[in-house]
Amino acid sequence: MAKIAFLFPGQGAQYVGMGLELAREFPEVARRFEQMNELVGFDLRKLCWEGPEEELKKTANQQPAILALSVACLELLLREGIRPDVTAGLSLGEYSALVAAGVLTFEEAVPLVRRRGTYMQEAVPLGTGGMAALLGLTAEQVDELCARAARETGRHVEGANYNCPGQVVVAGHTEALERCMALAVEAGGRAVRLSVTAPFHSRLLTPAGERLAEALAAVPLREAQVPVVSNVTADYVTQPGEIRRLLIEQVSRPVLWEASIRRMIADGVDTFVEVGPSRTLTGFLRKIDKGVRALHVEDPGSLARVLDSLGRVC
């Protein structure tokens, strides 16, 4: 019997047209997008399906949009009797994972992540911070380079997303970030500046966590019906109080994604389904462990393939 984990993507997974084919084929998906519009108070569905891309990419827009499609895909799987033994999500995706686990409702999660996106964007003045992916280096090397760049510039940079072997995203003040990128190239790696306008998952986002705490205090979190692996600890969490605390910390703490995946594999998970737009997490998974089954759902074709595949292993 396969042990299944559902994985939910985070910011950057969005693209114009996402969810359109599913909504045309499944009325329940179309209803979720309509409900998303009602919850955010404007036509976000049009941005998802028609663009412009620059508007969809805005943090406060893409976060509820990605969550809406992720939850719609989740519900299609649940309808077919495909249920997870554990869930996890990358950054924003952790909120989708909490919906899957019964901690949050869709109606609670959509406005919450829109506020989260706004708070994260407003935590640092535009142009003063950013993020970059460092490739081809170990996590230990990246940590050393961040410390050196911070010393040399007097500014802050740190590891923000430990995604998979050979890929760590760093975040911080622009001066320290650029120095860290240069040091990575000198060390034999590659550095790619990400098209985001804030240093997410760094201590510079602490003000966003403080504002998020107020929003979370108004939401009645429930005990998780299936375990959720926290980004902050790479460990299981089920209790509302601990979930709330870790969500507050999450915006200014590194995402331990590789460690989270390895924890699930060590505990017997052998089938992972990425639920939502794009296939970023599937790519990370294959770099972490090629021996596990990696699937994804984002449109009618991928849904059919997952149902066919899991019908043979469940």
- Parallel/antiparallel/unpaired status of strands 167-173 and 157-164: antiparallel
- Parallel/antiparallel/unpaired status of strands 157-164 and 129-135: unpaired
Domains within the chain, CATH numbers bracketed: 4-123+204-313 (3.40.366.10), 129-197 (3.30.70.250)
Is the Cβ–Cβ distance between 85 and 4 less than 8 Å?
Answer: yes
Whether the per-residue pLDDT at 176 is higher than 80: the answer is yes
Q: For 106-117, write each residue's pLDDT tens digit.
A: 999 999 999 999
Q: What is the mean pLDDT of residues 99-122?
A: 96
pLDDT, position 126: 83
Q: For 131-171, write each residue's pLDDT tens digit.
A: 999 999 999 999 999 999 999 999 999 999 999 999 999 99
Of 289, 216, 226, 280, the C-alpha closest to 258 is: 289
d(CA 270, CA 184): 34
Whether the per-residue pLDDT at 1 is higher than 70: the answer is no
Whether the per-residue pLDDT at 58 is higher than 60: the answer is yes
Is the Cβ–Cβ distance between 27 and 56 less than 8 Å?
Answer: no
Q: What is the mean pLDDT of residues 17-21?
A: 98
Q: For 209-245, write each residue's pLDDT tens digit.
A: 999 999 999 999 999 999 999 999 999 999 999 999 9
Query: pLDDT tier at 312 (50, 70, 90 boundaries)?
Result: low
Angle at 194 between CA 22 and CA 234, to 5 degrees: 75
Q: What is the mean pLDDT of residues 188-195?
A: 95
Report, as residue numbers or ranges, the catalytic residues: 91, 201
Q: Express the helix, strand and coil content of the chain in percent, nearest 5 each.
A: 50, 15, 30
- Comparison of pLDDT for 191 and 197, the residue scoring more: 191
Whether the per-residue pLDDT at 314 is higher than 60: the answer is no
Q: What is the mean pLDDT of residues 284-291?
A: 97
Q: What is the mean pLDDT of residues 265-288?
A: 97
Query: pLDDT tier at 311 (50, 70, 90 boundaries)?
Result: confident
Q: For 20-46, write each residue's pLDDT tens digit.
A: 999 999 999 999 999 999 999 999 999
Whether the per-residue pLDDT at 2 is higher than 90: the answer is no
pLDDT, position 127: 83
Average pLDDT of the residues of the chain: 96
The pTM is what?
Answer: 0.96
Where do we find the tokens 């375990």? 227
